[in-house]
Every structure is written in structure tokens, then in C-alpha cells.
Amino acid sequence: MAEQLSEFARVLQADNDADSLLTHLVKAAIELVPGTDEASISLITGRADVESRAPSSDLPRQVDALQTRVGQGPCLDAVFEHGTVSVPDMAQEDRWPRFAEGAMNLGAASMLAFQLYVEGDNLGAMNLYSRHANAFTVESEENGLLIAAHASVAIAGSKKMDQMHDALANRDTIGQAKGILMERFGITANQAFILLVRSSSHTNTKLATIAEYLTGTGELPHHSR
């Protein structure tokens, strides 16, 4: 288990693509957590919109959609309240009556849900599913917590990497836009930047969007000239 987790951590560290990272996470959960038949990741934005990511089959996709539709279930409790939520036997579950009946009919006999991260109003959870009742053990919960801990670090790193890539891309685009204005009007870099800022202010548009428009069309937005 320690060797498998080490390999899992190396894979996550090397992967900066968010979708690929979530897919690796789901595969690792199925392989390393005893009793797991299927898995998925839930991303909650603004504490309202729940999105199912990297589901391993139709079962987690449908159960995730059910939680969103009825507004209750182990994933939501995990991310908002408890951190880890276990459902040993869906047929005997009374915490979320509407969800439990629907999930059982879809084929989910037991579940485990782990909180992955909380970042303001943005949250994430790892959901594990079994087609058999009482499929998950103490070892399942322990292994799931270890995977969730590794995944939380990797997801946080991926988010920061995405933000950095966006910032670098914006910086390059703004630099190109400044170069166009400098060459066209024979002005300095500071003067070109002031023109971009004024265009952004006059059109109520982000500076990066103004720069992208200029580099794509060769012109500033018409109503800001």
C-alpha cells in the first residue's frame, strides 16, 4: 500500500492537467480502496452548483446527479459538514430518505464520501461506490483518507498552476498588444500600457480581453478609440 501510494503521489505531482489528475484519482481509489466498484469526484462551486467529474461509469454519474437534484446525500454532507461520510447499507439508510431510495434503485448499495478541499465557497469530494451492501471496511476508510490527502495537495497545486499559466498567458498577450501600439504610434511602453488601461476603463472590459482583441484584430475596440 505504501509503495502504491508513493507511485500515486508521483503521478499526481507530474500531472498538471486538472481533468487528467481527477481521472488518475478515480482510478487510484478503485484500485486501492477495498470494496470500491466505481468512483467519481464532485466539485461544488459557490456552495450551490455540484458538478460530477471523472465518473468511472454511469452509476456514479447518475448517483451524483441524484444528489444534486434532491439536494441531499453523503457527498454534500462530506463537503459541508463531516469530512468523511459512510453509508454501509443504502437499503437501511435514513439520513437522506429521497436520496437513499433513488441511489439504491440505481445500483449503489453502499458508499464512502471524503472531503477533498475547502477553498472559500469552492469545495470538492471523492465519492466511492459499491454494488454490494457493507462493502467498505475500516481499511477502506483509512486508505480513502490517505488518497484524499494526497489528492487534496495535488488539486491545490493544480489550481495554482492553472492560475499561473493564465497569468503568464495574459502577461504575454498584454506585452504583444503594447508592442503593436508602440510600433504603430511611436510611443513608449508606459504610454502603450496607459492606452490599454484607458481602453479597458472606457469599455468596462478586462485589460487581458482588450489585449487579446488588439492582438487578434490589430485594432482597439471601436468605441474606445
What does the pLDDT read at residue 104?
Answer: 96
193 near 178, Cβ under 8 Å?
A: yes
> Which ranges in the chain are annotated with CATH 3.30.450.80?
2-160
What does the pLDDT read at residue 199?
Answer: 82
What does the pLDDT read at residue 132?
Answer: 97
> Helices (DSSP H) in 43-137: which residue ranges?
58-70, 74-77, 97-106
> Helices (DSSP H) in the chain: which residue ranges?
2-14, 18-32, 58-70, 74-77, 97-106, 138-185, 189-203, 207-217
The 10s digit of each residue's pLDDT in 95-106 is 999 999 999 999
Class of domain 2-160: alpha beta
Q: Which residues contact 98 (CB under 8 A, 6 or more apart)?
A: 70, 72
Unique residue bearing C-alpha cell 498577450: 173
Q: What is the distance between the alpha carbons of residues 9 and 161, in angstroms, rounded to a whole number?
A: 17
Cα dihedral sign, 43-49-54-60: positive
What does the pLDDT read at residue 165?
Answer: 47
Unique residue bearing C-alpha cell 490517505: 146
In sequence order, what DSSP letters do the residues of 2-43 get, joined into one string? HHHHHHHHHHHHH---HHHHHHHHHHHHHHHSTT-SEEEEEE
Residue 65: other Cβ atoms inside 10 A: 15
Looking at domain 164-224, its CATH architecture is: Orthogonal Bundle (1.10)
pTM across the whole model:
0.66
The 10s digit of each residue's pLDDT in 10-59 is 655 555 566 777 888 888 899 889 999 999 988 876 665 667 888 999 99
What does the pLDDT read at residue 98?
Answer: 93
Mean pLDDT by groups of 10 residues along the chain of 225 residues: 57 63 86 94 70 91 90 87 90 95 96 80 86 94 83 63 53 84 86 79 77 87 57
What does the pLDDT read at residue 4?
Answer: 60
> Which ranges in the chain are annotated with CATH 1.10.10.10?
164-224
What does the pLDDT read at residue 164?
Answer: 44
